[in-house]
Each structure stands twice: as C-alpha cells, then as structure tokens.
Structure 1
Amino acid sequence: MPQRMTKVNGHTTRYLDYGSPVKGAKDLVLLHGLGASSERWLLVAPTLSKYFRVIVPDVVGFGYSDKPTVEYTMDFFIDFFDGFLQNLGIEKPHLVGSSFGGHLAAEYAIRNKRRIDKMALVSPAGAMRTSTPILDQYIMAALYPTFENALKAFSDMAHDPSIVTEEMVVDFVKRMNLPNAKYAFMSTLLGMRYSLPLRGRLSSVIAPTLIMWGDEDRMIPVQYAKDFREVPNSELVVIKDCGHTPYVEKPMTFNRIILKFLAGKEELVP
C-alpha cells in the first residue's frame, strides 16, 4: 500500500496516497467510518486512482494514526481535516465520506462551502439521533474486541455475510486493542451525538452531492437519506441487496456510480 505519514496539529497521521497516471488529476479524499481505517477502501481505491489522485487518511483517533486524550468533538475533527488538507496541498478536492466520515464530510461542506468540488455521502451518520441494534452490536465489538464479537458485528452489518473476511476481523480486533482506541471510539460517539444538528444547515451546501445507501442497511437505515436531500444540488442512489458499506460489499457497483457522478465516466478503465 502507498502508505505515508504526516503531522497534523501535532498528531502523527497515517494515510494512503495513490498517485494517478493522469496528469493534473483531481484530488479525491475518502473518509472512513467510526472505528474503521483506510483499509476499508482497499477494494475501490486502486481503480479510482486511474482517474484521480486518491488520498485515504486514518482519521485522527482511528486506524494507525495517533489517538490523543482529547475531546473528539466535530470541531476537533474539522480542525484536523483542515490541517490534513493543508499539509498535502489539497485545495478543492472531491470528497467521499462513509458513515461517521459522511457526517464529517457534510459538516466540512457546511463550514467550508467553496473548498469542496463534489461530495458523496455513503450511508452518512449525523441524522440518526437514536441507536439501532446493529450499531449497539458494533459498539460492543469495539469495547470488547474479540474475534467472535467483531465477526458477528461485521456479518450483521452486511447484507451478505460471506463478504466478511478473516483479515478484516483480525485487523479490527488488533486496532481496537491499541492504546486509547476504545477511548477515541466512545469520545467520538459522544461528539457526534452532541454536535450541531445537520438538519436546517445542509441547505447551505453548494457542492453537487451524491447520497448513496444500501437498501438493506440496518446500521443506519435508508429512511435517513431523506434528511440529506436537504442539500440543494443532491441526488440519491439506493443500491439493492447491500448493507452499510457498498464499497466493501459491491465495490464494482460503487465505483461505477462514483465515477459517473464525479467524472461522467460510464465505463471503468481496465
């Protein structure tokens, strides 16, 4: 993997940097979900890098980036992401955010209207104010990271449990056992819960926005997609027979939809 490190506000941050063969290629930043890491995008990033320079950070507090003992508020994450983009010289990227990463992307687009080109929100958090049994199960797996707990959480999160690999489960367990990982996870949950509501503010987003959801998402059900349609220039695509992570469960479908939205491409480069 094209792994790199940078210091953002004093915190060592790991990220993947897929250079593109296309001269002057647009920057595309992918933001993972709660408790995840840049590895979640490995099934789609190489193909996307044929069209864009793809940047995939381990958001501070997660993956193999630093996990400082701070309050993980949305203000903290916005400051982090702003510093990260500045470090890499990224001025106006395309932005794709999944789940928690979708919440962060939407908040960033609200506060920095002219600094995002196009945005895709994949089963974004931020509208659902109560939990679901699948989310509760995932939280339990994060706090008690055994192989069995993580396997059940990932399997129930997906429409087809066969997509869950042993490597995926082992990596999650390993990361959640890192120092301060559980603290960062729970502090982020609280930070999301007590953040400013997105409703009533999404109408100020000016970036063209794609909202993507799996029709069988039981972590954050597709009914919450309607809240994000408040973005003026938005469209909704619902993927059939898909759970919470389309880029893991249906990577080819995901890439086709994303490339059509971002670049008007109907076919993938071999």
Structure 2
Amino acid sequence: MSSAVSSSLLFHKTFPHPSSKEWVVFVHGAGGSSSIWFKQIKAYKEHFNVLLVDLRGHGKSNNLLADIINKRYTFEAVTKDIVAVLDHLKISSAHFVGMSLGTIIVRNMAEIASHRVRSMVLGGAVTRFDARSQFLVKLGDLSKNFIPYMWLYSLFAWIIMPQKGQVESRHMFIREARKLCQKEFKRWFRLAAEVNPLMRYFKERELDIPTLYLMGDKDYMFIKPVKEMVSVHEHSKLIEIEDCGHVCNVEKPQQFNRESIAFIQSVS
C-alpha cells in the first residue's frame, strides 16, 4: 500500500495487487472522502489493483494549491484532478466505482477521456434532481450565506437518508462533512446547479462503456430517474439492492462488493 499527497495532486492511496493488471478507481461523493470505501477495500484488493482518491477540498486533499482551490469548481475541473493522478501513476485505463455525486464525476471521466474508462459501477447514482431535490438545492443556495453549512448538510443527509437502516451512512456523511470548511462547502454546493443539464446530455448520449447501476430499492430520491436512464441505454444494467437506501456500499457492503466485483470481472 502506498499513499501520497503533493501540493498539486489529489491525495491518493494505492493497494497494488501481486498479479492483476486491472485497476479499480474509487470516487466518493461531495462531503465524503475515500474513507467511505472502508467496507470495499479488503474484498477488492483480493482481485484488483486499487486506487483511492480524495476529491479537492475533501479528506486529505484539503491543502491543495491555493490557486486551484480558489477557482470556481466545475465537474470538468474536478474530473481532470483525477486524470492527473492517473497520469502520475501511469495508469492508462481503469474500472471506476463511484458513489452518489461521485457517479457524475465518473460519467464525466468517460465523457472527456473515454479510452481510460474500462467500465463504470455507479452506486446511489445521481442522474437527475427531481422537483423535491431541486427545491432543496434552491433553498440551500438561498440560505447558504446565513445558515451554518453543517445545519444544511445535516438536513440534506436526513432527507436523502431518512430510514432507520441508514443511520450509519447518515452519521458517516455528517462526520466527513464536518471536515469541510464553509467556503469549500459553498464551492461544491454551486456544482449542484450543473447536475441536470449535464445529466440530460448524458442521457441522450450513451457511451459504449459497460455500466452497472447499483441502487438501494429505498433510495426514493434517485432510483426512478436511474430506471428511466437504464431503460433507454443499451450498455447499462441496474441491480436493485433490497431494503437499502442511498449509500448502498455502506448499508449492504457484501452485496455491493459481490455484484460489483462480478460485473468488473465479467468485462475485464
């Protein structure tokens, strides 16, 4: 295992496999860090080389160069941060596993550097904000300058993950979000405005990259648009995880690992 952080690269950690040539890159969502994958690492490193990254401003990437941090964030810029890590490690292509907002970054990676993406596993995928989530984002946008961001984040965590079985996921996300500063939270929050136009484009333009959507059947905010997406896409499939909410890699890790590893092996 090796980990590295420099002033211009995202913090990243690798778990090299003694014989496998396949790399799997894990991409967390907004407000999280690579620590959300703690229930995946052991299972995955038995089969693949594993790369974890902390997105800009998150986890141990919170001390990136000031000029990077001070620019307005876009999905393209955040995606190119990951490309820079792949270049640095000389990884020409990999399988990508994303969670929540991280799924948009993975799909954007496939858009801007499709030759580097061998397959995509999209957990708790965000493919569209419905009227309710758009209202929440709007409310957050209007109040982000005078309501403490942790109140907002906790509220969102409760709305997205309301069930009893989601307590661990909720607490983990709130704990990770506490590590973000207010300024950083606002930068990521503004990205939410880009989600719908970007995802409309992605829905219309399917790539021929094998894609597995892993969704909790109780992920009531995001599962319906994923079903719509999969119904019109040829290279995508959806597996619903029973009695499970949004953060399915934490709530049902064994099934998440079993289904996703089998999928990656089937397309390797």
| TM-score bracket, shorter-length normalisation | 0.7 to 0.9
Where does 1:149-168 land on structure 2 (aligned, <5 Å)?
150=154, 153=157, 157=161, 159-161=163-165, 163-164=167-168, 168=172
Q: Match for residue 45 of structure 1?
A: 41
Select 1:216's aligned residue among 198, 215, 218. Answer: 218
Partner of 1:28: 24
Q: Is 1:261 matched up with 2:257?
A: no
> CA–CA distance in 1 between the matches of 2:53 and 2:140?
22
Cα distance in 2, alignment partners of residues 51 and 251 from structure 1:
16
Equivalent residue of 2:238, what SS?
Answer: strand
SS in 1 for 2:57: coil
Separation in 2, partners of 1:78, 1:120: 16
**1:63 and 2:59 are equivalent in the alignment:** yes
Q: Secondary structure at the match of 1:127?
A: coil
| CA spacing shift, 1:184–1:63, aligned 2, 3 Å | farther
Q: Aligned partners of 1:50, 1:158: CA distance in 2, in Å?
A: 34
CA distance in 1, matches of 2:112, 2:44: 27
- 5 Å-filtered alignment, 1:116-155, equals 116-128=117-129, 130-132=131-133, 144-146=148-150, 150=154, 153=157
1:182 maps onto 2:185 in alignment = yes
Match of 1:114 in 2: 115
Please name the residue that 2:75 is paired with: 74
- Give the TM-score, by structure 1 length: 0.80
- State the 1:57 CA deviation: 0.6
Cα distance, 1:60 vs structure 2: 1.6
Q: 1:132·1:220 contact (CA, 8 Å) conserved in 2?
A: no
Looking at structure 1, the residues matched to 130 and 152 of structure 2 have their Cα atoms a distance apart, in angstroms, of: 28
Deviation at 1:192, TM superposition (A): 3.1
Percent of pairs with identical residues: 22
Q: Is the 8 A contact 2:217 2:243 kept in 1?
A: yes
Equivalent position amino acid for 2:251 in 1: E
Which deviates further from its counterpart, 167-176 or 70-79?
167-176
Q: 1:231 to 1:60 in 2, by over 3 A?
A: farther
Structure 1 residue runs of 5 or longer lacking an equivalent are: 266-270
Which letter maps to 1:180?
K
Q: Describe the SS at the equivalent of 2:70.
A: coil
**Structure 1 pair 99/148, CA: closer, same or farther in 2 (3 Å)?**
closer
TM-score (norm 2): 0.81
How far the C-alpha of 1:105 sits from its partner, in A, is 1.1
| 2:17 matches 1:14 | no
Partner residue in 2 for 1:97: 98
Q: Distance in 1 between matches of 2:4 and 2:109?
A: 23
- How far is 1:24 from its partner? 3.3
Cα–Cα, structure 1 residues 174 and 117, in superposed 2: closer, same or farther, change >3 Å? Answer: same
Question: Which of 230-239 and 88-97 deviates more?
Answer: 230-239
**Structure 2 alignment gaps of length 5 or more:** none
The CA deviation string for residues 162-216 of structure 1, in whole angstroms up to 9 with x for no partner, is 641797266324313x3632232223223435547322112xx122111111110
Change (3 A) 1:179 1:112: same
